[in-house]
Structure 1
Amino acid sequence: MEPKKRKSLFCNCLPSVFLLSAVLFIGSAFLVTDYKERFLACHIFYNIEATKSKMCENQCRPEGSVTLPRGIVSITTDLDMRPLWGHPKKKSRSPMNLLAIAVGIKQKQNVNEMVKKFPLTNFAIMVFHYDGNVDGWKELEWSNYAIHVSAINQTKWWFAKRFLHPDVVVQYAYIFLWDEDLGVKNFNVGRYISIIKKERLQISQPAIDPEKSEVHYKFTARELNSKVHRRTINLRGPGRRCYEDSTGPPCTGFVELMAPVFSRESWRCAWHMIQNDLVHAWGLDFQLGYCAQGNRTANIGIVDSEYVVHFGLPTLGGSVSDKANSEDKGQSSLNKASPDQGQKVPSERDQSDGRNAVRKESYIELENFKNRWKKAVREDECWVDPFQQPVKHK
């Protein structure tokens, strides 16, 4: 080919080569940029996913709800009854409290007087029927507003463990867990709550009238000209000796089992301490100080100005005629239970035998609880007793 023609061909192809090179260069730039953007986007995505996964791992979710979306989980509940149609009645603006009481039909009149002291505008009422007789209470004005639970021959603490779970009663500021044999003529619940709020009592009880009651511990007896007391001195007995420097129950930091009042925080602790199988709860009163949310000598007290009479009726396994032999000195009162519906009325001997069997079982449970506590303390290496040992006296 002639040189002239070669030069002409080269000149004609040169623009095409430049154009093709420019296209390839620009295209490669776009490809690299797109690749970088894709890589960066994937990196950010994986970082977000990793952060989200780590964040989700740190979220506290109730056991059994991990497969549910967080917003649908309803952790707590309440005892409010709901209508089958329409809207529920508006709640009182006042903080709601709860009265839970174990009852038998034989004490119907006394229980009615007790419940009427607790206004429905500020109290939910829960009635535990240990004799199975629920219908016998229907004509009482408050009965339709109460939650009725029935189980034959079960104690107050058996009911409480199964039906007063802390997540169920969390809306209630105070839980009154009372026996049926209390006289409330000199008790005003409004004043009582006002006092325990002002005194910041986490666990409390109304004082016991010593003139008309069975008093097992001097600490719970009413002190005249006093609003609240948190300790007692008992140098001569009966019962355990209490000195000025005594730091533990039953000299301070103590309530009995017949009429305790718990704050919601202290109840959450106490509920966990109630044993599933030890239904009489003997020994529990001596350990309630661990649930006082701090210093038991300050946060537990007896309200003297609002006091009750403790009749001490041994309805569990016996009858009123057994009263004289119902309780040993220095022991908490038994919680009540007695079969009397649809059954033959037991003879005096049967009642006495039943009562003795109940008392024997209560002592057995007391020893079991003490041993479980010692074992738990021994095996829990992380637990530190927040209270100093009481001073020993000769």
Structure 2
Amino acid sequence: MNKKRKSSSLLRLFPFVFLLGMVFLIGNAFITVDYKEGISGWSSIIRLNLAKLKMCKTQFRPPGSETLPRGIVASKSDLEMRPLWGAKRNKKPKQNLLAMAAGIKQKESVNKIVNKFSSSEFVVMLFHYDGSVDEWKEFEWSETAIHISVVNQTKWWFAKRFLHPDIVSAYSYIFLWDEDLGVDNFDARRYVSIIKEEGLEISQPALDPHLSEVHHQHTSRENKSRVHRRTYKVIGRARCNENSTGPPCTGFVEMMAPVFSRAAWRCTWHMIQNDLNHGWGIDFQLGYCAQGDRTKNIGIVDSEYILHLGLPTLGGSAENKTDSGELDQTKSQHSSDKTKPSPISQMSSGRSEVRKQTYAELETFKHRWKNAVKNDECWIDRFRA
């Protein structure tokens, strides 16, 4: 009887145990699915965040702006003037920049140059090396020009400090000119059109060979030519021909009226030495900033040519060259005073010292270039024969 009762009890418990087991199995399946889905969801979130982090790391952010939200970063600037109040005038941004060293005694020459550059297409910046600024107000364009005044500094000193590539990156071409240039046969708009068509990254207007002070024959104007990129003349020891690969035969401009593309100027700016004032030596290395083949990307524009007067304007305030009549008058006023050096002798002495400094800086630059090439193991000279 007892065995029968136990068997009967087990039979009654069996459905309950079976039901409990089914509930356990089904519940475990749901828990496993939820767990897997949870793991999968978290894995997706982690992968998404990692991808986002990787994308953010690959995005370029200007140095110093890493802590700022991307949308607030203004990475470019320009030289446009802004009104102090009222609505901003909607006008087309100027595309190019004319920057010049300027002394007040050459104001007529500077005025003629500036008037050759359209006010709607060029920003004008004057580097005043003689301290005179207000005297330029007689010219209408002076009101919208950028004036920077530091006494007895060259245009290269000014350019290194005030034409940083990030500041002038808004401009397609930078004209970095001297003041002693005749521009009767020059048109800036046509010039820009030509260098764009020719693909010139670094250029200059040709020099009138009959009236200009010409230091390098390569820059002399060639008749019936639009642009030339090389000369075939004998220059010192160099016999220039079709096989010439570098200065002074090709890939070269002088430094009185160079014109740089945006990219070429970024490179050139870095080559200007901060502690050297005159920029001597840079002209022979400009090929490294030509954005490619210097024999093709550097050229002289013959159809838009200029006159280089070669006036010695630095070396002292008395040294800004004036017309011969004024010099003769100054000489006669002091001819009886034997105890004081005349302004002309002071001028000669000042120019002599400036000349010595330019040659000294040339040797310094050449020495630095040689050492830089020697010590940079990763640098490859693309122009080495």
Kindly provide the amino acid, as one letter, of the partner of residue 267 in structure 1: W
Change (3 A) 1:233 1:10: closer
Residue 186 of structure 1: aligned partner: 185
Q: What amino acid is the match of 1:212?
A: L
Distance in 2, Cα, partners of 1:5 & 1:168: 102
Residue 385 (1) aligns with residue 381 (2): yes
**Quick one: distance in 1 between partners of 2:209 and 2:202?**
21
Question: Using the alignment, how far apart are the partners of 1:366 and 1:388 within structure 2?
Answer: 22
Q: CA deviation at 1:232?
A: 1.8
| Structure 1 spans left out of the alignment, 5+ residues | 324-344, 390-394
Q: Quote the residue 1:59 is aligned against.
A: 59
Match of residue 302 from structure 1:
300
Residue 242 (structure 1) aligns with: 239
Say which SS state the counterpart of residue 239 (structure 2) adopts: coil
Deviation of the 1:346 alpha carbon: 9.0
SS in 1 for 2:125: strand
> How big is the shift at 1:157?
0.9
Aligned to 1:262: 260
The answer on whether the counterparts of 1:232 and 1:242 sit within 8 Å (CA) in structure 2 is no
**Residue 10 of structure 1, CA deviation:** 6.0
How far the C-alpha of 1:73 sits from its partner, in A, is 2.3
Q: Which of 344, 347, 360 is equivalent to 2:343?
A: 347
Q: 1:370 aligns with which of 356, 366, 371?
A: 366
Separation of aligned partners in 2, 1:52 and 1:135:
56
The residue correspondences of 1:278-317 to structure 2 (distance < 5 A) are: 278-317=276-315
Question: Whole-Å Cα distance in 2 between the matches of residues 233 and 13 of structure 1?
Answer: 114
The answer on whether the counterparts of 2:105 and 2:322 sit within 8 Å (CA) in structure 1 is no
- Taking the aligned partners of 1:200 and 1:190, their CA distance within structure 2 comes to 16
Aligned partner of 1:195 in structure 2 is: 194
Deviation at 1:267, TM superposition (A): 1.2
RMSD: 2.6
Letter of the 2:380 counterpart = V
The 1:357/1:17 distance shift into structure 2, 3 A limit, reads same
Secondary structure at the counterpart of residue 160 of structure 1: helix
| 8 Å contact from structure 1 (residues 240, 250) kept in 2 | no
Distance 1:361 1:52 in 2: 56
Structure 1 residue 282, shift from structure 2 partner:
0.1
Task: Name which of structure 1's ranges 378-387 and 45-54 shifts more when overlaid on structure 2.
Answer: 45-54
Secondary structure of 1:142's aligned partner? helix
**1:89 Cα deviation (Å)?**
2.6
1:38-61: CA deviation from partner (whole Å, max 9, x where unpaired): 222222222223333333333332
Contact 2:314 2:320 survives alignment (8 Å): no
In structure 2, the residue corresponding to 1:177 is in which secondary structure? strand
Cross-structure match for 2:47 = 47
Change (3 A) 1:320 1:132: closer
Shift in Å, 1:293: 1.7
Q: Deviations over 1:368-388 (max 9, x none)?
A: 111111111112222222224
Q: Offset of 1:259 from its aligned partner?
A: 0.2
Match of 1:337 in 2: none
**C-alpha distance in 2 between matches for 1:233 and 1:46:** 67
1:185 Cα deviation after fit = 1.2
The alpha-carbon deviation at position 278 of structure 1 amounts to 1.4
Of 177-186 and 18-27, more deviation after overlay is shown by 18-27
Matches within 5 A, 1:6-85: 17-85=17-85
Q: In the TM superposition, what is the alpha-carbon distance from 1:35 to its structure 2 partner?
A: 1.6
Distance in 1 separating the partners of 2:187 and 2:181: 13
Task: Name whichever of 29-38 and 262-271 sits farther off.
Answer: 29-38
Mark the runs of 5 or more structure 2 residues left unpaired by the alignment. 324-340
Amino acid at match of 1:207: A
Please say if residues 215 and 221 of structure 1, whose CA atoms lie closer than 8 Å, have aligned partners that are also in contact: yes
**TM-score of the two chains, using structure 2 as the length reference:** 0.86
Change (3 A) 1:240 1:75: farther
Deviates more, 1:225-234 or 1:113-122: 225-234
Question: Aligned AA for 2:258?
Answer: P
- Matched with 2:232 is 233
Structure 1's 122 and 76: CA in aligned 2 closer, same or farther, altered over 3 A?
A: same
Q: Which amino acid aligns with 2:347?
A: Q
One-letter identity of the residue aligned with 1:60? F
**1:234–1:240 CA contact under 8 A, matched in 2:** no
Paired with 1:351 and 1:230, the residues of 2 have a C-alpha distance of: 38
Alignment partners' CA distance in 1, 2:342 and 2:60: 54
SS at match of 1:35: helix
Shift of 1:9: 6.3
Counterpart AA for 2:184: K
